[in-house]
Amino acid sequence: MIKEREEKLKKGQKVAGKAIWLEGFLVLLKFIVGLLSGSLVLISDAIHSASDVVSIITSWFGLKIAQRKASQRFPYGFYKAESLGALLISFLIIYASWEMFTKGYDRLFSFSQIKMPLLAIGISFLDALVLFFFGKYEIRVGKQIGAQSLTAMGEENRTHLFSSTAVLIGILAAYYRIPYLEGLIIIGISLLIFKIGLMATKNSVFALMDVSPSEPFKDKVGEAIESVPGVEEFFDLRLRQSGPFVFGETKVGIRKSIDVKRAHEISEKIEKNIKKKIPKIDSFSIHVEPFRSDFHHLVIPVRDKKGLDSFLSGYFGRAPYFLFINLKGKKIKGFYFLKNPYKNKSVRAGLSVSKMIVKQKSDILLTVEIGEISFHVLKDNLIDVYQVKNEKARKIINQFIEDKLPQLVEATRKKD
Ligand SMILES: [Zn+2]
């Protein structure tokens, strides 16, 4: 499982690496053509793309650093290095947007001297086309490996179709000396750069402050916890973002009667289940709390069908009927009978009956006697067994409610 995650990390890193080269090349091209043609719009768009590239470099660096093993000095790993790097770079991007904004303002009252309009337009068009398809690829891989940053980058790249159209209009506006338009477009692009910077600042500051992931993400973790058998409830679920990963902790309620070994097994299962279903989770700690349920679904082997006045059967596997009772707190909320279809089974009637009880989702069995195999089947399914005397059902239910019954820790007889 850890290997699978490492592979995903490597794949994400590879795509980010490709993006850096490709987009870096486009930035350079736009910058050079911008300088040669004298189009300030194209230069500002080159800076916009440079901000994109710089953001990818930080996330690529983040993924790289995330693969570094935690050390004794940094036991929680180096994930936050990404957020720290992103924060510093976001300031740089915001500064660039301000520079661009003032230049755009100046251009409201003057014109760029455009020399090679067709080349400038061609480059801008090429940029939009390449990034449109590369963005599609990034989104696909991002979804496949669950890397949100990659998907976001891909989506951003596809918006270049619009910014490149604006660049095209800006170049033509300068060439044909249409007033204000070039300056306005540069200001528009500077605002776009400002937005990239602002988002980067927000994301990195939030990550540095241990922001909790989105609600749907939290719900997914909750589902993974609840689906583990033996978990009665969970509360105080806390998650925190750390670079590209998430750390988490929760308290789970496990029935008081379950021993330490089983409780430990349950928490291991929770951890495994979470990491399997949500690969972004790096580590998860579980705090076990004793849980005393208010609801019980009791089962009692009985001799006859006389409601709560039915008399207990002296046998478990060969009892004629089973009485199932819903208990809430100290109140009986309802009951029903099931006929024992295995009563006359030649061997292992107890085992078949135990399976039937598991299916009915009982959590408590009150019985006079029980064999070893049956007892273990019930224990494995977290059903507690209490020993009772041959009485009327009503009486022993009251004894259970008053907590006066001894819980069995082993079968009453060796043979099943
Ligand atoms: Zn962009």
- Give 94 Cα–ligand 1 centroid separation in angstroms: 14
- Give 106 Cα–ligand 1 centroid separation in angstroms: 23
Q: Give the global pTM.
A: 0.61
- For residues 164 and 176, the answer to whether their CB atoms sit within 8 Å is no
- Give 46 Cα–ligand 1 centroid separation in angstroms: 9
Q: CA-CA distance, 11 to 16, in Å (whole number)?
A: 9
- Give 368 Cα–ligand 1 centroid separation in angstroms: 75
Q: Are strands 295-302 and 321-328 parallel, antiparallel or unpaired?
A: antiparallel
CA distances from 60 to 37, 80, 93, 300 (A): 33, 13, 17, 62
- Give 161 Cα–ligand 1 centroid separation in angstroms: 10
- Give 43 Cα–ligand 1 centroid separation in angstroms: 13
pLDDT at 298: 94
DSSP line for 28-85: HHHHHHHHHHT-HHHHHHHHHHHHHHHHHHHHHHHHHHHTSPP-SSSTT-STHHHHHH
Q: CA-CA distance, 396 to 405, in Å (whole number)?
A: 8
The CA radius of gyration of the chain, in Å to the nearest whole number, is 34
pLDDT in tens, the chain (416 residues): 567 667 777 888 888 889 999 999 999 999 999 999 988 889 988 998 998 888 888 777 776 776 777 888 888 877 777 778 778 888 888 988 898 899 889 888 888 888 888 899 999 989 999 999 999 999 898 888 766 677 778 888 888 888 888 888 888 888 888 889 989 999 998 998 899 889 888 988 888 888 888 899 999 999 999 989 888 889 999 999 887 788 999 999 988 777 888 899 999 999 999 998 888 888 899 999 888 777 889 999 999 999 999 999 999 999 999 999 999 888 999 999 999 999 988 888 999 999 999 998 898 999 999 999 999 999 888 898 999 998 999 999 999 999 899 999 889 887 66
Can you point out the beta strands (E) in 228-361? Answer: 233-242, 245-255, 281-291, 295-302, 321-328, 331-339
- Give 163 Cα–ligand 1 centroid separation in angstroms: 8
CB atoms within 10 A of CB 373: 16
- Give 85 Cα–ligand 1 centroid separation in angstroms: 19
Q: At 346, which helix (H) or strand (E)?
A: none
- Give 160 Cα–ligand 1 centroid separation in angstroms: 6
- Give 56 Cα–ligand 1 centroid separation in angstroms: 11
- Give 194 Cα–ligand 1 centroid separation in angstroms: 11
- For residues 290 and 318, the answer to whether their CB atoms sit within 8 Å is no
Q: Would you mind telling me the total number of residues written for the chain in this entry?
A: 416
- Give 397 Cα–ligand 1 centroid separation in angstroms: 70
DSSP line for 126-142: HHHHHHHHHHHHHHHHH
Return the ∠ at Cα 345 (arms to 343 and 347), rounded to 5°: 125
